[in-house]
Structure 1
Amino acid sequence: MAKGKTTAFFCKECGFESAKWLGQCPGCREWNSFVEEPVAKAEASGKRGISSTGSGGVTGVKIKPARLSEIQLDEQDRMKTGYEELDRVLGGGVVRGSLVLVGGDPGIGKSTLLLQVCRNLAFAEKKVLYISGEESLKQIKLRANRIGEVKGDLLFLCETNLDLIEAAIQEEQPDVVIIDSIQTMFREEISSAPGSVSQVRESTNLLMQIAKGKGIAIFIVGHVTKEGVVAGPRVLEHMVDTVLYFEGERSASYRIIRGVKNRFGSTNEIGVFEMIESGLAEVKNPSEFMLSGRPEDASGAVVACSMEGTRPIMIEVQALITPTAFGMPRRTAAGTDYNRVNLLMAVLEKRGHYDLSHFDAYVNITGGLRMNEPALDLAILMAIVSSMKDRAIDSKTIIFGEVGLSGEVRAVSMAQQRVNEAKKLGFHTCILPRISLDRMGAVDEIKLIGVDNVREAIAGISN
């Protein structure tokens, strides 16, 4: 009698399973992504279903489909985290029965933010269970002492065995559970090591069954790779309801939380936080925060407005153009797409008749944000011209618009909201696409200058 299969090959990107090693994954088309891992010993692992009655797919329990009109929704289906920035990214609050994945670089503040959220939920009389597989209870208490007094029904557990964790959740019946982190969790039925493709997939599957079956909101922390994506199989992001990425430099005080997947809200929103001594504090006016400390009457500095979801954010675009000391000029972009900067410089050379082949170009989005919206094109181009001419643009002028390869300035979305934000922050002049100006209503106390192409925009700042 032939022995049963004990190992299999899994794709690290999408979780595709194969009996033999393959150079290219048939599922996601990635190369050299297959790893060999032991298969589950128990054939029944992962076969439990998800039941709206909380039965978990137990045999003998009768379930009945429901009509859409029979499903009741109320305000209690969402729990406020105590942070408006995080609630906005989540779509209005934490949904009961949801599974939320939070990813980010080590030391960025994921555990600190979730501990602060647990503190706020406990104050709101919610029962919270914080499970850590990386820190001891004493380490958690040291971190909790920094964020302030903790009151309410907030419980802590240090464990990595998911079978024991499931039993603890069954006994405590919390409203919210935090798993820190998913790469440290393991199931005894899976013989591979914690953090492997099989363990991460099966562990997430069990947590999803608990969340859906019992109506418990579960946050799971995920480590990221050097490419900036959550470590483990890509199927992990497909299984959860919401994927949040915590961005920012550890050396800087700001932190950005961005939703890249959300079944309960928009994925275009961001939340801005500032790292202070007592933890993370939300920044309710990011525009003022991003523009603080900007130089007055400095060449190569332009203020632009980018839309993140429904929120306009004012940012400063800086450019530095210097004669090159080498045969090949350098091109550097921080906070925006490098290829987009090269494209805009080519447009400026062709349509504006500027010779940039003998100059190094450095473009930076201040504040550490990464913005790729096409509405920043005109501001980047104007910052380059300002630095090359060594002529400062009025600090009370805001510029936005998309630039095409023919040098035309195209319309952008939500132009009215951008202008209103500029007016609120005291800007006097706004250079924008003429087609967007024609579609807008009258705006008092701010001068609007519509431009059709790059040459008109350059002429507007030269006068």
Structure 2
Amino acid sequence: MAKAKTVYSCTQCGSQFPKWTGQCQDCGDWNTLEEEAAPQKSSLSSSPKAARFEGFAPKANVQKLQKVSLKGTPRFPSGLIELDRVLGGGLVPGSVILLGGDPGIGKSTLILQSLALLSDTKNTLYVTGEESAEQIALRATRLGVQDCDLSLLADNQLESILEVSLEHKPEVLVIDSIQTLYTETLQSAPGSVAQVRETASRLVRFGKQTQTIVILVGHVTKEGALAGPRVLEHMVDTVLYFEGEQNSTFRLIRAIKNRFGAVNEIGVFAMTDMGLKEVSNPSAMFIKRAQEDATGSVVLVSQEGTRPLLVEVQSLVDQSSLANPRRVTVGLDNQRLAMLLAVVNRHAGFSLYDQDVFVNVIGGVKVHEPAADLAILLSVLSSFKNRRLDSDLAVFGEVGLTGEIRPVQRGLDRIKEVEKLGFRRLIMPKGNQSGVKSSKLEIVSVNTLEEAIRYAFD
């Protein structure tokens, strides 16, 4: 009996090699090659109907750039306003969307709620490879959408799914999840690099040729990759991350790639007993304080895409008993905190070399923009000096290495959000002051870190 041939596939980039090596020669990552069965030389599909869509697309014609028609991209709403915000205005026919997140975060709940609303006006098909139709029906009953006109298919064979899709002709096709699918043309197990890459490639081709919206659900691995190989993110049009802390009711959906809209937009949901509820004004929920006189707390005016977001930053500074004091951040960049502590030591005269510093963003929000610098330092100094900052004060601004406060983008949008939520005072960079007028808000524009500290604590 002939021995089955094997290849070694990289779990990061998907490249294949005949022999194992410690480092992938294409992407350079170490210890990412896994053994799997080599693909068989067989027909692309066991179904003649599905095989119609496995060939090459019609030959494209060369066009002059100035003669290309600039028609608006057709869209229709997904049924959830927060999801439409992240998608750039709605769903685009023929687009392929990858929705990723940790197991149990609520991806299937989000998809089911959206499809239940879409099924009233669109032909939808929900393919589940992880759960049975009865389990989906139980979840729909819990969410109160059991009477929707949604079609279900419990299968994980790609050829069968394509054949049913050709007969059903859905406008929106959901695959939950991509790790459970397999194709008969490969011998490897479902979830392997080869299976994920091949099944996703054929689903992308099917969506493009039939103008079907294909939504692929994928788990995030322990390395942080979506559904295994990173090549999957390059194949799709939109990549969405559904994230949040398991012990928090808030869920954030974030776009990190979008060919039909802006990236870094976020949608905010709250997980309840009846499913996900949209949060139209997340700032009001993230800045609820239990103690108005607590030290080490300040309100940061952050920006996520086009949406200004007010979040509370809390710090704790305490005498360290270690040779190397700890610098711990939650929701912030740990390396940037170390840099800011050096800046405040050099340009403001506060030495924290023997102090443990802990900084946390309340609500499980992750903030990585430079505009959080000033809020972080004022929060740290409030805890260090044991002096409370006013509860009606909001802050934003980037701190440079020379101690200057640099302007940030979308300053006017941040100011409007602060006014809307009833704050009385705002510390901001002087570079963002141009053309800003407010009758309800006392705006203090600063050029240096020393000016900001003087105003905040005087």
TM over 0.5: yes
1:298 to 294, 298, 308: 294
Aligned to 1:18: 17
Aligned to 2:441: 446
2:115 to 114, 118, 129: 118
Aligned to 1:402: 398
Q: Secondary structure at the match of 1:376?
A: helix
How far residue 99 of structure 1 moved from its aligned partner, in angstroms, is 0.9
Moved more, 351-360 or 451-460: 351-360
How far residue 19 of structure 1 moved from its aligned partner, in angstroms, is 2.2
Task: Specify every segment of 5 or more residues in structure 1 that has no aligned partner in the other structure, as ranges.
Answer: 47-53
| Aligned equivalents of 1:424, 1:263: Cα separation in 2 | 32
Which runs of structure 2 are paired with 1:10-159 in the superposition (5 Å)? 10-42=9-41, 45=44, 56=53, 58=55, 65=61, 73=71, 77-123=74-120, 125-159=121-155
Deviations 1:53-85 (CA, angstroms, capped at 9, x unpaired)? x963658x975638586768467x322111111
Aligned to 2:431: 435
How far residue 277 of structure 1 moved from its aligned partner, in angstroms, is 0.9
| Aligned equivalents of 2:104, 2:278: Cα separation in 1 | 18
How far residue 337 of structure 1 moved from its aligned partner, in angstroms, is 0.7
| Aligned equivalents of 1:134, 1:462: Cα separation in 2 | 56
How far residue 24 of structure 1 moved from its aligned partner, in angstroms, is 1.9
Could you tell me whether the CA contact under 8 Å between 1:396 and 1:429 is conserved in 2?
yes
| Aligned equivalents of 1:396, 1:282: Cα separation in 2 | 27
Aligned to 1:50: none
| Aligned equivalents of 2:417, 2:452: Cα separation in 1 | 21
Q: Secondary structure at the match of 2:28?
A: coil
| Aligned equivalents of 2:175, 2:412: Cα separation in 1 | 42
Deviations 1:249-297 (CA, angstroms, capped at 9, x unpaired)? 1211000000111111111200000001110011111111211245312
| Aligned equivalents of 2:302, 2:146: Cα separation in 1 | 38
Could you tell me whether the CA contact under 8 Å between 2:54 and 2:205 is conserved in 1?
no
Q: Secondary structure at the match of 1:321?
A: strand
Deviations 1:376-430 (CA, angstroms, capped at 9, x unpaired)? 0000000011111111111111111111111111111111111111011111111
| Aligned equivalents of 1:380, 1:70: Cα separation in 2 | 48
| Aligned equivalents of 1:396, 1:409: Cα separation in 2 | 21
How far residue 449 of structure 1 moved from its aligned partner, in angstroms, is 0.8
Aligned to 2:176: 180
Q: Secondary structure at the match of 1:271?
A: strand
Q: Secondary structure at the match of 1:445?
A: coil
After TM superposition, the score normalised by the length of structure 1 is 0.93
Question: What residue identity is the alignment partner of 1:98?
Answer: S
Matched, 1:284 2:280: yes
Deviations 1:190-211 (CA, angstroms, capped at 9, x unpaired)? 0000000110000001101110
Aligned to 2:246: 250
How far residue 354 of structure 1 moved from its aligned partner, in angstroms, is 1.2
Aligned to 1:415: 411
Matched, 1:361 2:361: no
| Aligned equivalents of 2:243, 2:443: Cα separation in 1 | 34
Moved more, 353-362 or 236-245: 353-362
Moved more, 378-387 or 290-299: 290-299
Classify 1:256/1:172 alpha carbon distance in 2 versus 1 (closer, same or farther; 3 Å): same
Question: What residue identity is the alignment partner of 1:355?
Answer: S
Could you tell me whether the CA contact under 8 Å between 2:332 and 2:368 is conserved in 1?
yes
Could you tell me whether the CA contact under 8 Å between 1:253 and 1:274 is conserved in 2?
yes
| Aligned equivalents of 1:72, 1:432: Cα separation in 2 | 40
After TM superposition, the score normalised by the length of structure 2 is 0.94
Superposition RMSD in Å: 2.1
Deviations 1:9-49 (CA, angstroms, capped at 9, x unpaired)? 21110111222223222221111111121121135549xxx
| Aligned equivalents of 1:70, 1:459: Cα separation in 2 | 57
Could you tell me whether the CA contact under 8 Å between 1:245 and 1:257 is conserved in 2?
yes
Deviations 1:330-375 (CA, angstroms, capped at 9, x unpaired)? 2211110111111111111121111212221110000100111100
| Aligned equivalents of 2:60, 2:157: Cα separation in 1 | 34
| Aligned equivalents of 1:378, 1:305: Cα separation in 2 | 10
Which runs of at least 4 in structure 1 moved beyond 6 Å after TM superposition?
none
Could you tell me whether the CA contact under 8 Å between 2:100 and 2:226 is conserved in 1?
yes
Task: Specify every segment of 5 or more residues in structure 2 that has no aligned partner in the other structure, as ranges.
Answer: 46-50
| Aligned equivalents of 1:73, 1:191: Cα separation in 2 | 44
Q: Secondary structure at the match of 2:363?
A: helix
| Aligned equivalents of 1:184, 1:308: Cα separation in 2 | 33
Instruction: Tell me the matched-pair count.
Output: 450
Question: What residue identity is the alignment partner of 2:61?
Answer: P
Could you tell me whether the CA contact under 8 Å between 1:105 and 1:228 is conserved in 2?
no
Aligned to 1:49: none
| Aligned equivalents of 1:202, 1:62: Cα separation in 2 | 21
Classify 1:353/1:58 alpha carbon distance in 2 versus 1 (closer, same or farther; 3 Å): closer
2:328 to 329, 332, 350: 332
Matched, 1:231 2:227: yes
How far residue 231 of structure 1 moved from its aligned partner, in angstroms, is 2.9
Classify 1:24/1:45 alpha carbon distance in 2 versus 1 (closer, same or farther; 3 Å): farther
Classify 1:407/1:172 alpha carbon distance in 2 versus 1 (closer, same or farther; 3 Å): same
Moved more, 61-70 or 293-302: 61-70
